[in-house]
Structure 1
Amino acid sequence: MPESLLTSIVAGSSAAVFQTTISYPFEFLKTGLQLHRSLPRVAPFNMMHQIKFYFSGCAALNVGTLLKTATRFTTFEKACVLMKDPESPNKAIGGPRLLVAGIITGFMESLLVIPFENIKTTMIENALILSERATKELEAKSKNTGKPTSDVRPTFHKISNRSLHPREKLYLHYEKYPSSHFLASVKEIYVTRGVRGFVQGTTPTIIRQMSNSAVRFTTYTSLKQLIAPTKPLNEYYAFALGVVSSAAVVAVTQPIDVIKTRMQSKYAWKTYKSSLNCAYRIFVEEGFFSFWKGWAPRLMKVGLSGGVSFGVYQYVENLMTLIQQESKLGHE
């Protein structure tokens, strides 16, 4: 494996888990806001939860992020080499070639991240259910009723005397006892929705991921070439450029992200027929501005994670380059 490729993997992976974990509460709020349907007679989304709930789904996203980050930097480097002008192999790529390299990177990322995005979304939905029940129990105790308010959720069928299909029984079981951990959530998805439950929202996820990478890497690399075209970039500048490129990502891709989250919901199959139907119903039932639900926490999360990711990546890359140079000098 080439040293530059190994450097990319080490640098990217070092930043991945750190930035995902510290920024995850914003991901939780963003996903919760996007899952909440703005319909008449529906209470506003509750932003206040116990601390433990804000990290529900973090493990799933960390696993996906590790795979995504390794793919992101290695694929982007290879894509840049592939897209170089044969007549000017030493010239840095730009314009349409840089955009295509970003799109290729996003497509490869999405293939790995889709199952973990579905697990994360299910874990967040379950956490919201459990948080709502915990709040009702506290309210019931404060009123000295001794009994929590019943939590009645709509089901996909009317109660009848017919015998239930095993999957229906499991669905009702998990409605009553939502899973709260990574492996339990994986089991819940598999037994209630099958393998299909891990690939929900594939189309909007691929479109979002390709758009994310195209916008992020095009913005970041263009600004990097403008600021430091011939020398390594300082890690502080890398952090700032990461924040700016991430803000551009949110500005361009937020509607796609809302559709993706809705299509990955455990209730999507009984609410939306397809991604296009989802977009249509959001527009008609909830209004145009609902496509921008969760933009503020997503901006905080993506901006922080993008800045930290690129900043740590650049720091580790510069450090490893310095070590390699000193090692070469020591052998001479």
Structure 2
Amino acid sequence: MASGKKEKPLHSLFAGSTAGAVEANSFVNYPFDYIKTRAQFEGKRESPIAIVKDTIKTKGISGLYSGCMALVVGNAAKAGVRFLTYDHFKHLLADDKGKVTAPRSLVAGLGAGMAEAIFAVTPSETIKTKLIDDAKRSNPQYRGLIHGTTQIIKNEGITGIYRGLFPVMMRQGANSAVRFTTYSSIKAFVQGNARPGQQLPASITFGIGAVAGLVTTYVTMPLDVIKTRMQSLEARTKYKNSFHCAYKTYTEDGLLRFWAGTTPRLARLILSGGITFSVYENVMALIAEKKED
């Protein structure tokens, strides 16, 4: 993430994809996403503990990993596209000295988020959400990632896996803009107080990424709730569009429902931010070392 030079596209893509796969495949991390998604569906409000108890009681421990493979595949693609496009936009927006101001970093992050929403996030998130929604039923109709994806496309067409594209684009654009800007700003401050040329240790990188995840969670939570509801199994008959979904959520459930699932998402994004940025930085460092050998 150094601002003084442009990372090679393939290096950014490889490092980002690796970081995304590692983060999504974390044994500890995924259940937070599962709990967050369950908490955002319609119906009675469930606490994170109640969701865990009900899932384990009816589906066993494996139930907490419903839709996991969709997220692993999607996260690898998402992170690859995110870092690739962010590095590209950041280079285009850098000044003569290679420095990128916070507002320009915000624009680069927004562009990266939009790109990942279109090419990776919407399909994987839609499939993951439908698998989780289906798994909580007494008689699930989907038998895993491949069968679920096939049935969704068969019954709803290709638009079935692109449901909720608008709120996903808004969420991912805001996610990346806030996360990258927060991360870059804090990292620049920390590096400004370090010795010239000194690489930040993994623990510091993890901490900066975790703080970026914390800020991102509270800023973008309403968009995440709308995204989840637009991708649920009932969305086709329940909502006309994202704005209608937001209106019904507000009028039927109240303003605070837009922050449903905040606790598990907060835990996930803190871990996600720390893991993703740490892995990305270390993979890029390893690539740089190999080039010098």
Give TM class, smaller chain.
0.7 to 0.9
TM-fit CA distance, 1:45: 6.1
Instruction: Map 1:187-198 to 2 at 5 A.
Output: 187-198=150-161
Rounded Cα–Cα distance in structure 2 between residues aligned with 1:97 and 1:265: 35
Q: 2:141 aligns with which of 163, 170, 178?
A: 178
Q: Distance in 2 between matches of 1:3 and 1:190?
A: 37
Amino acid paired to 1:27:
D
> Superposed, which structure 2 residues align to 1:1-332 within 5 Å?
4-22=8-26, 23-38=29-44, 46-48=51-53, 49=55, 50-85=60-95, 89-112=96-119, 113-129=121-137, 133=138, 177-229=140-192, 230-231=196-197, 232-325=199-292, 327=293
Letter in 2 for 1:52: S
Mapped contact 1:127–1:180 kept (Cα < 8 A) = no
Unaligned runs of 5+ in 1: 134-175, 328-332
TM-aligned CA distance change 1:95 to 1:46, over 3 Å: closer
> Residue 90 of structure 2 contacts residue 100 of structure 2 at CA under 8 Å; is this kept in 1?
yes
For 2:278 and 2:255, how far apart are their aligned partners in 1? 35
Q: Give, in whole Å, the separation in 2 of the partners of 1:278 and 1:214.
A: 24
Contact 2:183 2:209 in 1 (8 A): yes
Q: CA deviation at 1:61?
A: 1.1
Q: CA deviation at 1:249?
A: 0.6
Report the alpha carbon displacement of residue 269 of structure 1 after superposing the two structures with TM: 1.3
TM-score normalised per structure 2: 0.88
Number of corresponding residues: 273
After alignment, is 255-264 or 304-313 more displaced? Answer: 304-313
- Residues 211-256 of structure 1, C-alpha deviation per residue, up to 9 Å, x if partnerless? 0000000000011111114533322111001100011110100000
Task: List per-residue Cα deviations over 1:188-224 (Å, max 9, x = no partner).
Answer: 2122222221111011000000000000000000111
Q: 1:46–1:239: structure 2 CA closer, same or farther, 3 Å change rule?
A: closer
Contact 2:35 2:51 in 1 (8 A): no
Q: 2:171 & 2:7 partners in 1: Cα distance?
A: 31
Counterpart CA distance in 2 for 1:187 and 1:318 is 39
TM-score in terms of structure 1 length: 0.78
| 8 A contact 2:16–2:81 mirrored in 1 | no
2:207 maps to a residue whose letter is: A
SS in 1 for 2:94: coil
Identity %: 37
Alpha-carbon spacing, 1:45–1:274, altered in 2? closer, same or farther (3 Å) = farther
Q: Deviations over 1:35-77 (max 9, x none)?
A: 13348xxxx9633221111111111111111111111111111
Q: CA deviation digits over 1:152-180, x for unaligned, max 9?
A: xxxxxxxxxxxxxxxxxxxxxxxx55113
Farther-moved stretch of structure 1 (277-286 vs 204-213): 277-286
Query: 1:53, 1:290 → 2: CA distance?
Result: 24
